[in-house]
Amino acid sequence: MRFLSKLLILLLIVTGTSFAGYRGKVIWHRSYFISLGVDALFSLGGDLNGDGAIEANGDDTDDVVYLPHIGSFPLPNIEAGVNFNQHTIAVHFGIWQPDVRYGEDTDYFTEDDANYWRLGVEYRYYFFWPEDFMIGPGLGYAFARYSVHGAAIGFDKYDGEYREAAVFATNSFAVSANMRYKIRPFGMDVALRYRPTFIRSLSTETAGYCSLSETLWHHMIEVSARVFLEF
């Protein structure tokens, strides 16, 4: 989240200085946009495959946390950003309840849904500006929380075995290929992204925040489509 905060500060600095003058002429053209859309997420594989477990070591108790299987799911989202000439910086937020399973080949095998939300920022560079049709590459960063119901299992000396949610804190970077088409003041953004995701910590209600001894990795491909209003 600290890294994301720094990128958001950079966004504010850029938007505040995106007008420049030379001999009374404006050389930067700025506009804003807000969009609604959906990302289709497809798993390429990794550590979050529903097979295996790790220990969450707390001050008073240790939980066994089963790693969930991340499959394919949609992520509805909202995005807001700024364009200055061929450059775009955008912030997005998405939330969904994807289907999940964990505990493969164990007595704790479970199929359920999970709570997932993601907050991210992305920079894009568009060729052919200021035409209505533009294409270009992008680079992004996102922080997400993936809460899996009942994936943490522990034992209390008074109450016996208990189950509770395990919350995975994930960070990811993304490289993208983007296409933008404008029918002013509206338009559409379409993108293809590769997103490697890494997890260095998780938390449970009983064990609290726990740093992992090894980083977990998972790889995703995203197909994104959004409709925007530019102003």
What pLDDT, on a 0 to 100 scale, did the predictor assign at position 97? 95
Q: Measured between alpha carbons, how far is 181 from 115 in angstroms, rounded to an integer? A: 33
Question: What pLDDT was estimated at residue 20?
Answer: 44
In sequence order, which residues have a C-beta less than 8 Å from that of residue 24 and are 6 or more positions away? none
| Residue 2 pLDDT | 62
- One-character DSSP codes across 166-194: EEEEEEEEEEEEEEEEEETTEEEEEEEEE
Q: Using CA atoms, how far apart are residues 100 and 83, in angstroms rounded to an integer?
A: 37
Q: Per-residue confidence of the chain (231 residues) as pLDDT tens digits?
A: 666 566 556 655 555 554 444 445 657 889 999 999 999 999 999 998 888 888 877 655 677 889 999 889 999 999 999 999 999 999 999 999 999 999 888 888 888 889 999 999 999 999 999 999 999 999 999 999 999 998 888 887 777 788 889 999 999 999 999 999 999 899 999 999 999 999 999 988 877 888 888 899 999 999 999 999 999
CA distance 4 to 6: 5
Please give the structure tokens belonging to residue 90: 């955008």
Q: Where exactly are the structural domains of the chain?
A: 2-14+37-230
Per-residue model confidence as pLDDT tens digits over 8-51: 566 555 555 544 444 456 578 899 999 999 999 999 999 988 88
The two three-digit tokens of residue 66, written as one number: 């089963």
The CATH number of 2-14+37-230 is which of 2.30.30, 1.10.10, 2.40.160, 3.30.460?
2.40.160
Would you state the structure tokens that stand for residue 89, as one six-digit string? 């910086």
Q: Would you state the pLDDT for residue 204? A: 85
For residue 38, what are the β-bridge partners?
Answer: 76, 225
Cis ω before 74 (30° cut-off from 0): no
How far is residue 125's CA from residue 112's CA, in Å, rounded to a whole number? Answer: 40
Q: What is the pLDDT of residue 4?
A: 59
pLDDT, residue 50, reads 86
Q: Give the model's pLDDT for residue 60.
A: 58
The rounded distance, in Å, linking the Cα atoms of 87 and 61 is 50
What pLDDT is attached to residue 104?
83
